[in-house]
Structure 1
Amino acid sequence: MEPLRPGDPAEIGGYPVLARLGEGGMGQVYLGVSGGGRHVALKMVRDGLDDPQSLARFRREVATAERVRSRYAAAMVAAGLTAPPYWLATEYVPGLTLRQAVERRGPLPPHLCLALLAALARGLAEIHGQGVQHRDLKPGNVILAPDGPKLIDFGIARGSDQTQITRTGAWAGTPGYVAPEVIREQAQTTAADVFSLGGTIAYAATGRPPFGGGPVEALLHRTLTGDIDVAGVEPRLASLIRMCAEKDPARRVPLGRLVELTADAAPLAADPAYRGALSTAEHLPRNRSEAVTMGLAPEPPRRPRLLLPALAAGGVGAVAVAVALAVQFLPGGHGSPKGGTANQAGAHSSDPSAGRTGATGRTGGTAPNGSGSPSSGRPSAPSAPSAPSNGVPPEKITVQPLDEHFKDLQWKDTNTGCLPNSRTEPDTPPEIQTAAPRSAADVKAGGSATLSLRFKYQWPSNYYVAAQVREPVSLQGSDASGIVVSKPKPLPTNGEFRDFTFPADFTGEAATTAALVKGSYTVVWLHVHPNGDAYYISCDGFAVP
């Protein structure tokens, strides 16, 4: 991480910007954070790169990142493509890149290189199976995450159904890692990623560029005619690297065969040498205030002080002005924590240390509305309230999806949480805690379930929430959507939980089941605005045995 510089944005797409992460050909990459406390990597296109070709390339990057779903790739979170500045948010993967690890600690031991080769081969196989080529695999685009390596930066990746954007006479890739057929501008297949994989592992094993250094022309010539540098590499590993680096793509080892040849490699996450290689000892700021304290972000502008003596001399009129100004500048509805607790099993916090958050998602698409029927159209930002003066929303709410993945949101299990990641409403207070049944005794078939939510530290006034419950598949069909929704209720302003009883507090489009049935239930928590618009803020669930 690096401190922010003058001119850097304070937020991008509703995500507070905490620090700089790096810079690429298209723009700057920042560390951001979602309303639920999840860190994201924010790539913002730099000023001046708004020509049609650059924008087409960036939109293709977004489309490609959106289709990639793999445990070996950083997941896309959200994007802004309608107006400059254009941006893309992906999950932030903690850890060093492979290049950084080798630069700091030297070449990796042979067994670790073998395990890395096996993991990346499986990752590429998954991505290729989704119709995507990475096209720029290199040590700088592999992050050594705690649970294994992850591929990042799909900036020049292309799906099998996407057209070429790069102009004739130019090729995309990194000299020293790009395959010979790419340099020659021949037909490019997924085998080009295998060649780059060989060069990446060669670098990990030797600490040297796979085809040496020097001018680009020399690198390309050695790539076309020379042998990959595996001097001193353990024989088995050297042989596998050479199989990946065959000049002729037809003779290159297929990924499926490579996975078989490395099947005996030990899991990376359990290897002490791997944990040592990825360790950064870097503390991530949890919010903008902590980033300021750490010296990563500038202090916010000071608010003007009220000139009370001068106002006092002005009599009643001055006092009225002072009161008005004080009301304007006082924070609304926030206080210090009082330590409220939940009187039920399974309280869940969106604090990152709790392991699960109401994560963020992507742009575009459709999602269920408040009554369970699909709501189509482009995603919208939270609308300005146009409601009764008392601020109480109507009983019938309308869910406004912020991305196309909201409709697919589903609770998997206690450890996994809800997938796919969907975007939360910007400026949601941090550290949401939700509670749902967590034991068989709490979810007996034929009974009911208590669902609860609170904010742990901030308690805004007049903040209404509702719960949308997505019932098991057995309750979905032509008669009902399987989606039921509660009426909105205000959150307590003392830190206590707001409870909803399922199914008593819920109504559906056609009919609501009178009791719990066997299966998994997804609980989608919503912030309801005074005009009845509701936006996603967190997700939980429970299973009925």
Structure 2
Amino acid sequence: MQITPLNPEDPPVLGDFELLGRIGQGGMGQVFLGESPGGEPAAVKVIKPSVVDSESRRRFAQEIEVLKTVYGPRIAAFLGADAEAEQPWLATEYVDGPDLARHVKTQGPLPSVLTAALGAVLAEALAAVHTQGLLHRDLKPANVLLGPNGPKIIDFGLAAFTESNVSLTAPHQVVGTPICMAPEQAAGVKPLTAAVDVYALGALLLFAATGHYPHEAATPYMVFHLVTDPDTAPDLSGAPDELMPLLTGMLAQSAEDRPSLTDVVQQCRSVIEAQGMKIAQARRRLTAHTAGQRHKAAPTGDSLASPTSPWSVPATDAPDTEVAPAAQHAPTMPGSGSPAAPALDETPGPTDPAVQDSSGHTPPVRRGPIDGTRREQPVPSRPPTAPKRSKEGTHTLRHSLQARRTAERLRAAYAAAAPF
């Protein structure tokens, strides 16, 4: 994913974070690459005004207070936020790795044992957060980043904006990500329970194992209809036999019929142990596998075919679906074909972010707005450097050594490709 320069209207600083460039954009707003005074990279997400109202702002402020108490190795750490800003923003730990949606679309589904390992890791992380009284409510493959130390969940607290005061079943507008949404959430039932995250995790694991979601259709309205229809069973085609009981339970229509997250962890362990493996070994293989696939897709050597960001898109804003009246044309959902699972690769490749990114030379892919993934942006026409400003109107960038090294490589790449 390319990093692009800040636009003239972009703020140079948010809170204590200096903004270095744009790294993602979606339905809820813009994602910036930020840097703390000490040089720590951060994903800074700014919410666009159209999804902000007094109620969502109030709930976001409440969830920020909860986020300050949430910590875990599988949760992207909270670094800062401002619910009272004209455009609310949230800064979280930067995770150097692709999201699950991109990985599956470019490398194919995960083997069943690695899908089970992913399920155990994420279920345990969600359970820990639930004990603090916080639900995710927008879990999807784009909100799970496959970092060098394993998967991490991002975007906790931002569901306050996806669940605005606009009804999810209003005739002229839909806000949300229907392909991973629990039936009761799609129907507007309040209050929501932990079961909505169990359902979303089941949809995520089905996608990880098969490359498709429980319900897919040509428009979001049709997806909502399928999700909420008690007579329409989720599409589990292509799912490995050993995962069928787990996925069937997690994707149950009734919240009461779904297993607890503790049960999910135990069922995932059973799948792994039935294949003669320990849970710790499966977790290591999952990280090695995703890192190995990332290395295979990354450029080698010091030459860069095109200027790319040294970091992958962290808190990518999977474009939350905003739909016009049903009469208008809607993008087609991705197909439900299931690519062959890649072979296990337990040898992680180099992770020097100065010479590779999460997607390597993989060509940009345009994806539908309702599959929970982002759209690739064109390669910028000039090096991704931010303007320097001082306290009187300009400021000096506090680039880390990593950022400076990358800037040097990008300048060299641009010079080599220049036609003059």
Normalising by structure 1, report the TM-score: 0.50
Matches of 1:165 and 1:143 in 2, distance apart? 22
Q: 1:121 to 1:51 in 2, by over 3 A?
A: closer
Q: Does 1:3 align with 2:4?
A: yes
Please state whether the residue corresponding to 2:178 is helix, strand or coil. Answer: coil
The equivalent of 1:273 in structure 2 is 289
User: What amino acid maps onto 1:226 in structure 2?
Assistant: T
Shift in Å, 1:126: 1.0
Q: Tell me the CA shift for residue 54 of structure 1.
A: 4.3
Equivalent-residue separation in structure 1 for 2:264 and 2:28 (angstroms): 33
Give distance in 2, aligned partners of 1:74 and 1:208: 26
Q: In the aligned structure 2, how far is the partner of 1:230 from the partner of 1:153? A: 27
- Partners of 1:87 and 1:57 in 2: CA distance: 13
1:142 to 136, 141, 144: 144
- Which residue number corresponds to residue 185 of structure 1? 188
Residues in 1 aligned to 2:251 and 2:166: alpha-carbon distance in whole angstroms: 25
Q: Does structure 1 conserve the Cα–Cα contact (< 8 Å) formed by 2:207 and 2:213? A: yes
- Give how far 1:301 is off: 7.4
* Displacement after TM superposition at 1:45 (Å): 3.1
Specify every segment of 5 or more residues in structure 1 that has no aligned partner in the other structure, as ranges.
159-163, 303-327, 332-425, 432-545
The answer on 1:227 being equivalent to 2:233 is: yes
1:99-118 counterparts in 2 under 5 A? 99-118=101-120
Contact 2:79–2:92 (8 Å) recurs in 1: yes
CA contact (8 A) 2:63 2:134 kept: no
The answer to whether 1:297 aligns with 2:385 is yes
One-letter code of the match for 1:261?
A: Q
User: What letter is aligned with 1:3?
Assistant: T
Alpha carbons of structure 1 residues 85 and 261: separation in structure 2 relative to 1, 3 Å:
closer
More helix by share: 2
Taking the aligned partners of 2:236 and 2:192, their CA distance within structure 1 comes to 25
Q: Quickly say closer, same or farther: Cα 1:64–1:300, change in 2 above 3 A.
A: same
Aligned counterpart, 1:215? 219
Cα deviation digits, residues 171-192 of structure 1 (max 9, x gap): 7641121111122333521011
Looking at structure 1, the residues matched to 198 and 389 of structure 2 have their Cα atoms a distance apart, in angstroms, of 51
Q: 1:85 to 1:138 in 2, by over 3 A?
A: closer
Query: What amino acid sits opposite 1:276 in the alignment?
Result: G
How far 1:246 moved relative to its partner?
0.8
CA contact (8 A) 2:51 2:164 kept: no
Q: Sort the Cα spacing of 1:54 and 1:125 in 2 relative to 1 into closer, same or farther, 3 A.
A: closer
CA distance change for structure 1 residues 32 and 218 in 2, over 3 Å: closer, same or farther? same
Counterpart in the other structure of 2:91: 89
Q: Which amino acid aligns with 1:283?
A: P
Determine the structure 1 residue equivalent to 2:201.
197
Query: In the TM superposition, what is the alpha-carbon distance from 1:218 to its structure 2 partner?
Result: 1.6
> Closer, same or farther in 2 for the Cα pair 1:109/1:24, shift >3 Å?
same
1:58–1:296: structure 2 CA closer, same or farther, 3 Å change rule?
farther
1:41 to 35, 40, 43: 43
2: CA distance, partners of 1:248 / 1:86: 35
Q: Say whether the 8 Å CA contact 2:3–2:21 is kept in structure 1.
A: yes
Separation in 2, partners of 1:100, 1:275: 13
Partner SS state of residue 37, structure 2: coil
* Equivalent AA in structure 1 for residue 18 of structure 2: P
Count of matched residue pairs: 301
Letter in 2 for 1:242: T
Q: Which amino acid aligns with 1:235?
A: D
Deviation at 1:251, TM superposition (A): 1.2
Q: Whose Rg is larger?
A: 1
SS at match of 1:89: strand
Asked whether the equivalents of residues 97 and 311 of structure 2 are also in contact (C-alpha less than 8 Å), the reply is no
Tell me the residue number matched to 2:370: none
| Partner residue in 2 for 1:321 | none
Q: 1:62 aligns with which of 61, 64, 73?
A: 64
CA distance in 2, matches of 1:18, 1:215: 37
Output the CA distance in 2 between the equivalents of 1:141 and 1:63.
21
Within the candidate set 245, 258, 266, 1:260 is matched to 266
Q: Deviations over 1:323-363 (max 9, x none)?
A: xxxxx9xx9xxxxxxxxxxxxxxxxxxxxxxxxxxxxxxxx
Q: Give the root-mean-square deviation of aligned CA atoms.
A: 3.4
Which SS does the other structure have where 1:133 is aligned? coil
Indicate the residue corresponding to 1:121 in structure 2: 123
Shift of the 48–138 alpha-carbon distance from structure 1 to 2, 3 Å rule, reads: closer
The residue matched to 1:132 in structure 2 has which SS?
coil
Matched residue SS, 2:180? coil
Q: Which has the higher strand share?
A: 1
2:343 aligned partner = none
After alignment, is 200-209 or 270-279 more displaced?
270-279
Where do 5+ consecutive residues of structure 2 fail to align? 170-174, 273-278, 299-308, 313-352, 355-379, 402-420
1:52 to 28, 51, 54: 54
Contact 2:198–2:261 (CA under 8 A) maintained in structure 1: yes
Cα distance in 1 between the residues matched to 2:159 and 2:35 = 26
